[in-house]
A and B are shown apart, each in its own frame.
Chain A
Amino acid sequence: MHAPGGYFFKRALRNMQQSPVLSLASIGTVAVALALLAFFAITVLNVQQLTASWSKSLAIVAYIDDVPEQSVVESWIARIEDYPEVAAVVFVSRDTAFERFRKRLGEDADLIEGLGASILPASLEISLTEDARSQAAVQAVVERLRKDQRFDDLQYGQGWLEKLEAFLLILRFCGAGLGGFLVFAALVIVANTIKLTLYARQDELEAMTMVGATSLFIKLPYLVEGALQGLFGGLAALGLSFVVFRFVLQKSLGSLLLITGIDTIHFLPPIWQFMLVVCGSLVGLMGSLFALRKFVRFGAS
């Protein structure tokens, strides 16, 4: 094959120009499928942001019934802060704990009137680094603290953590499943749309084989055409999802997230935008490849 790359690119553009309806159908299919994928990605991304903000409040509380001298407590704190999973350790004295409890009771604070700070234990509040906000990492820190045997009780919101992780797992699983399904559907539709184009051009393909064109020479413009349609579809999906994000999602999802304390919702990060367009090109290319498999025949049987 001797023709320069520009030849195949030019031919692909000419093919699209000559079959505008079918080309638009392919581009539209990719655009709709990828826009759906983009909406879902935006939702998942923002829900993940929400759960990440929830997990910031994740901490291990180690209760101490008999509080030792301050220097001993400080040495414990220093040792725990050396754990790689630990971000900070704060000592909460009985008095501080009692004061917090009283504040939390608000108008009902008179219920504990006459009781002293001794009813509540002192504790160490151990907050974790961002990477360690998982069940496994929390469990590892708790195991180490248990071995220490200095603490009377350890609390770390185990049930809540399990639910959060299960929710995130389901979200990711649904995202991957739905995303995969949408990409596959786009692939099949694009392949069939390109097949329709090829049916219409079957005589042309046969004529090409008669003058000595190799299989690759015939197929390349169609592959480039598929990739270009996918690229345009990907760009259209990006534009469409941005418009919907700006005028629909940002309002509906934004007000939902505001309730939970998140002030801004985000569009896809640049790398995801790039991946969306690349994904469009690949869908178009693969669709052409599948469609072309059985179309170029030289007739020898």
Chain B
Amino acid sequence: MIQLYNVCKAYQREQYALKDITLKIDKGAFVYLTGPSGAGKSTLLKLLYCAERPTRGQILVNGRNITRYGAAKIPYLRRNIGIVFQDFKLLNRRTIFENVAFPLEVQGRKRFEISKKVYQMLKKVGLQHRLNHHPVQLSGGDQQRVAVARAVVVDPQILLADEPTGNLDPEVTLDIMELFKGANARGTTVIMATHDRDLIRQFPRRVVALDAGHLSLDDMPLFVRPSASSGSS
């Protein structure tokens, strides 16, 4: 479970990227984080994977307060969080196989286990035949598939995606969304920042909207709600 209590983030004095955000996201939820550019979506995600610290407020992930995590603890937090970026952030000098294997190597998994998991993962995203290619040899859509594979290969508790389909064509977008849905179905909490309204309409889930750093909407589409109160703050 993710809990944010009165979280503020200011990059400059009195210029808030996020202001007084209180939010609760249940384990296994799928949440869209939406809003116009500069609304604070990326900042909120950065706070969750400790790339930024809140100026005020508290953030709890699975009951642990990560607000003041130091550099030594952050890697261990991130091992439970898969992150997908709009610009993929792949290791361009490594092969597709090595890219997906890297988070498992970091965790010290055995070699045969790594090979098996990576192959299965690449098969799932349809890239098992390109495992020896380098990222630059792939299309944008395929690179994003690799990024998703890298994020979910460790079976993370949380998957954070920052505009993952922003640069992709509609067909690839649907494939990527299927991968996120698959991870969510396996119990991973998914938080996806997007301003693609068509996508939200196509795959309706809880929507948390930000506007100029304020929480402007927290809504669950009626047909998604299993009960009146679940999943919303």
Digitize B93-112: 1 where CB-to-A-CB distance is under 8 Å, 0 elsewhere.
10000000011011110000
Measured in the bound complex, the distance between the Cα atoms of B51 and A231 in whole Å is 37
Q: Say if the beta carbon of A165 comes within 8 Å of chain B.
A: no
Say which size band chain A's interface belongs to.
20 to 34
Of B71-79, B123-131, B182-190, B199-207, the one contacting chain A is: B71-79
CB atoms of A298 and B107 under 8 A apart: no
A209 interface residue, CB < 8 Å from B? yes
Shortest Cβ distance from residue A9 to the other chain B in the assembled complex, whole angstroms: 14
The reply to whether B106 and A207 form a contact with Cβ atoms under 8 Å apart is: no
B71 and A300 contacting across the interface, CB-CB below 8 Å:
yes
Residues of B34-86 contacting chain A, CB below 8 A: 46, 49-53, 69-72, 74-79, 81, 83
Number of A-B contacts (CB under 8 A): 75
Contacts A298-B75, A300-B50 given; does A211 touch B102 at CB 8 Å: yes
Q: Is the CB of A210 within 8 A of B89?
A: yes
Q: How far is the CA of A3 from the CA of B81 in the complex (A)?
A: 20
A297 vs B70: C-alpha distance in the bound complex, in angstroms? 11
Task: State which residues 201-218 of A face B: CB under 8 Å.
Answer: 201, 203-204, 206-215, 217
Q: Taking the complex as formed, is A252 at the interface, i.e. its CB lies under 8 A from any CB of chain B?
A: no
A interface SS class: loop
**Quick check: A300 and B89 within 8 Å, CB to CB?**
no
Tell me if A1 is interfacial: C-beta within 8 Å of chain B.
yes
Is B90 located at the chain interface by the 8 A CB criterion? yes
Which A residues, 232 to 278, have Cβ-Cβ distances below 8 Å to chain B?
Answer: none
- Write the chain B residue with the least CB distance to A207: B89
Interface residues of A (CB under 8 A from B): 1-3, 7, 18, 201, 203-204, 206-215, 217, 297-301
Q: A2-B107, A210-B89 are in contact. List 16 more A-B contacts (CB 8 A).
A: A1-B108, A203-B89, A208-B102, A209-B74, A209-B78, A210-B78, A211-B78, A211-B103, A211-B150, A212-B77, A213-B106, A214-B72, A215-B75, A298-B51, A298-B75, A300-B70
